[in-house]
Structure 1
Amino acid sequence: MVQDAAPRASAQPRPCVNGVIPWNPYVVNCNLPPRQPRVRGAAPDAGAIIACRNHPGCLAWYVNPPY
């Protein structure tokens, strides 16, 4: 019996991205520290601050969502 030594690629999505997507503070960035659980009204994490830079109202919407 011959065994295949090549590793198999998995079809699972990556839990984070390498970079920041403007206007999307919910994306998890691989280059930043892990996120803490979100609490309404609490200070935003670094990823949200970077993603919302130069976008009025973005951080307010992230910190105090309408739900």
Structure 2
Amino acid sequence: MVHADNPRSLAFHKSSYSSTDRDCVEVADVPGGAAVRDSKCPDAGHLAIAAGEWSALLWAVARETA
């Protein structure tokens, strides 16, 4: 289970897969996985993704952009 005790305390950073002008995704490391949010709407919440699924997503994105 992916859980953050205090979502406001998460240290989000811009994803390296985001574009430079817009369409940005921010990511934070959380116990058991990652939290992802839209940089344009940070107060709208985040999506928690378990470590295995996060790894699979990153692998698929890297493979698609190679």
**Short-chain TM bin:** under 0.3
Q: Which has the higher strand share?
A: 2
- TM-score normalized by the length of structure 2: 0.25
- Which structure: larger Rg? 1
- TM-score normalized by the length of structure 1: 0.25
